[in-house]
Structure 1
Amino acid sequence: MPAPVITADNLVKAYKVKGKPDFLAVDGLSFEVAPGESFGLLGPNGAGKSTTMKMVGAVSTRTSGDLSILGLDPDRYGPEIRSRLGVVPQQDNLDGELNARENLYIYGRYFGLPGKVCHQKADELLAFAQLEDKAKSKVEQLSGGMKRRLTIARGLINDPRILLLDEPTTGLDPQARHVLWDRLFRLKERGTTLVLTTHYMDEAEQLCDRLIVVDKGRIMAEGTPASLIREHSSREVLEVRFGSDRNEQVAPQLEGIGDRVEVLPDRILVYANDGEAALETVTHRGLTPITSLVRRSSLEDVFLRLTGRSLIE
């Protein structure tokens, strides 16, 4: 087996808070990322995902624990590591005074690449991002999806071994998200290691070979999307709505149907191996939902169980 490109062992990041105990943004994370893998950190806002990415990106020092990036300690070899990483931040920070091609060229020069190489790579990356016809357009003239693709292209200017993506599709419409996913699939096929944070469950399910679910700085679960669904959810989910004022009243009458029942503000989820059979049982008990839907389990169900219901308990 090839050596991991990222190894974290009991990684901790604490912040001083005046008059209070230290705030643990990251509280003992341990994980490994294999070369060429697409690895995800899934969790709600404030879970510690971005803080972890900053330590992996060698721009924030750790409080304790061990961290190795490409075989190097980021606290000691920050510049060397950063030169071999590509970074796509949560917010686009493109230069609005430059056009799309100039943004790529100038960024390449920051890495010390010769001008001729920067010109060549800028053209290649514009083609990769499907932005050839926008090469001379100022950043402010680009749509949100175009800006995001340009930011990813910029992160590839130095042929990085690892590409870090922090919430890569936040704020994009569904069409733009799918175009961006396609570009990331192509990168993975080239052998680039992808490490991404997201709170979009469908995005993690689409993009990640393996992921960790993080909440309050701790790992709640780890595995492939499929294995996490098998472990923490059922094969199918029945969603029924009786009205926001009746869901709580009806829920006790659904007990015993399927594996478990979960009440959300707008609907009730019945986790079952056979969703259609569960719906038949609901109707046989004399209950008539306003709407019903049978679907397969997803990472969203895993997320709700690990970071929602478990915290309430």
Structure 2
Amino acid sequence: MPGKRKETMPEEAVERPAAEQFVQVSPADGAMPDGREPTPEEMEAMLEGKNRTHFEGLGDAWAVLTGQNPAEVVPQVVGTVMHEGGTRPAWQWKRGGRDHILLAWPQDQPVRASVLVAGEEGGKLAPVSAVPLLDGLPNDLTVEEAHPWENGLGANVAVSMIEGKNPMWFFDPLYGRDRDDLTPGITHTFLLAGLAYGLRKALLDEVTITQGPKFEAYAEAWLAENPGASRLDVPPLKVKVAGRHMIMPGRRFCEYQMRAVIEEVQDCQLEKMPVKLLYLSFPFENREPMRLALYVSKMVLGDFEPEKGQEVDAYVWLQARIIDIDQGPQQ
């Protein structure tokens, strides 16, 4: 049976560490995706999930969400969270003789800034990490594996959508709490969300593939149907993408290129920064659709105004956590 946790408790105030303490954010390596169309070879590699890396940093996420330099804005965000933020019983746990509490702010928005504070049991707590916390939509997913970050405060988690298919990866900001439950083969209800690093109205109706396993299979079938033709006669493989829901691995684990139709649009904000919340779904033949809450900042949107029914292309960083329960974890 899926391990399900219900998110019901309001945030509550706790004793906070000094606001002048803050967390250093690792800088992101490399530039953002440049928005150009992938070559056929790049498309084939993306479909197969090749050349991906586990990047252990949140600079990109803070940059696109706030539109500011993470090194400058995160200390301010952390100070605000520790003064104004609250917590929930499900965001508190003990491990290895240390207390851990996740503070989040603002209380009334689905997109929050969060700070994890930790310290010796019963002692003073200090901030150890700062993460954009995204409320997601519930999906029953089966754990495949976890890649803990070196700092031990988060992890990239792989889950299977369909048995035998490549797993999907997301970042778990509450890995310290979820760790013991992330057993391969066990199904949990996860709150799945995404932060858009790029978003635009869908442009391509089809892509052209000229090499790779898919093209080789196509070429073999075409040559069998056209005796006397040579390899040079094989036309390019054209794959129609208009109207399709697609998820393709990005350049790092937890990052994906997606195409979907917007089902609903809501407005929210992080302090004074406007954020659009888009509801997307991805249908499957033999299981329930995957449902995704996608957050898009003003910096990413620019002048684009997403609307219900629009088909969009997006480059997305995925985040999820096991659904929160209304009681603290067992000690």
Provide the TM-score with structure 2 as the length reference.
0.21
**Higher radius of gyration, 1 or 2:** 1
**Higher fraction of helix:** 1
Provide the TM-score with structure 1 as the length reference.
0.22
**Higher fraction of strand:** 2
